Amino acid sequence: MTLLKKKSLWLGALLLLLLGGATVYVIYKELNGQDILGILKSANIGWILLAVCAMSLYAIADGINISRCLKLAGYKISFAQMMKYSFAGFFFSSITPSSTGGQPGQLYFMAKDKLKVSHSAFTLLCALLSFQCAAVFLGIVGVIFSHGDIFKLQGRFAYVFPIGFALNLAIIVGLFCVLFTRRIAGFFAEIGLKLMKIRGIKPGDKFRFLRSFASYRRAAALLKLNKTVFLKMFLTSFVQLILFHSVTFFCAHAIGCSGLDWFTVLRTQASLFISVSSLPLPGAAGVTEYGYALFYSGLIPTELLGSVMLLSRFCAFVLPLAASGLGLVLLSVRPKKNIAAEEERKAA
């Protein structure tokens, strides 16, 4: 066995250990001192299964959006590979502040599968853009149908929604500029070259960087010519978020809150999500629970609110985190097939 292969095996084993360790640590911190088993025993299993199904479809929808852009760039990926990238996005987003680790984690696994970095980066930016657009749209719907109640919140959370909304909107504007504005994209390319100079450019590095940047721009041109692809991605993200926001509805009914209607939960969750999703906390831990208690005050009986919140967090965060971590481990050790990047792309 060559030294390179041994090194690859050790790195793979280290990655699997880190994945397992991070999963156990985050779950322990999330559930420390909480009687989730007692809640699960007393809850209606049918509603819990609906919540689990909703999160499963959420992950599949994310994978579908990724595969759409990769297909546009000329790649054919299997369902397993599609789900591996989806799992990586959820897992690393959940354990890093402001969900900043999701895209780098996905890029790592795409690079291992021999996908070009320029095409992978473009794909993930498009998927993020469609997700952010859907989140902001649903957030606006939530504010409109809450009749301004969100602006009546008191205390430190009174500022969270405006800040969260502004951050999400800024992300959308920034992504549009990077993806579809030649001048802005060129500006970032210049920054990349300057950073390479600081680190010391090796012969051929500049050429490879500019070639990757050209591939990135060709991918952007392809998306402009196939606008229906992004529309499909937006609609998929829209459904994806509705599934995610519906988990609280299923969990509330599992606990016995039969009087809570679905649309009330949808608008409330949409407002809460846009408030906390961009805050610099792993999984928006802490502030999500605090916001949950504020947003659902008066909608869910006080004596059941804690149980609904814990069960929702378990179904929408803890269980998917464990599943995505396990999925990454299994898909990382399975025998690899050559991903063939059938480059049937036409010269732009």
Per-residue pLDDT of the chain (348 residues; tens, 9 = 90+): 454 444 555 565 566 667 666 666 666 666 666 778 888 888 999 999 999 999 999 999 999 999 998 888 788 889 999 999 999 999 888 877 666 678 888 888 898 888 887 788 888 888 888 888 898 889 888 878 875 566 555 555 566 666 767 777 777 777 767 666 766 666 666 666 565 555 555 555 554 555 555 555 666 666 677 778 888 999 999 999 999 999 999 999 999 888 889 999 998 888 888 776 655 444 444 556 667 777 787 788 888 888 888 899 899 988 998 898 888 888 876 655 544 444 444 434
Interior angle at CA 247, CA 60 and CA 100, nearest 5: 60
CB atoms within 10 A of CB 16: 16
What pLDDT does residue 253 have? 94
What pLDDT does residue 301 have? 87
Location of structure tokens 């378990």: 314
- Longest CA pairwise span in the chain (Å): 68
What pLDDT does residue 338 have? 47
Tokens representing residue 134 in the block = 């859907």
What pLDDT does residue 341 have? 42
Question: With contact defined as beta carbons under 8 Å apart, do 214 and 67 qualify?
Answer: no
What pLDDT does residue 219 have? 60
Which residue pairs from 158-163 have beta carbons closer than 8 angstroms and sit at least 24 positions apart in sequence?
Answer: 160/275, 160/276, 160/279, 160/287, 160/291, 161/271, 161/274, 161/275
Alpha helices in 98-202 (DSSP H): 102-112, 117-145, 160-180, 182-199
DSSP string, 114-130: T--HHHHHHHHHHHHHH
Query: How far apart are alpha carbons 106 and 101 in whole angstroms?
Result: 9
- 331 alpha-carbon distance from chain centroid: 19
Residue 232 amino acid letter = K
For the chain, count helices (H), then strands (E): 14, 0
What per-residue string of b and e applies to 162-199 under the rule 16 or more CB within 10 Å gives b?
Answer: eebbebbeebbeebeebbeeeeebeeebeeebeeeeee
What pLDDT does residue 92 have? 86
Which residues touch 297 (CB under 8 Å, ≥6 apart)?
A: 305
What pLDDT does residue 118 have? 76
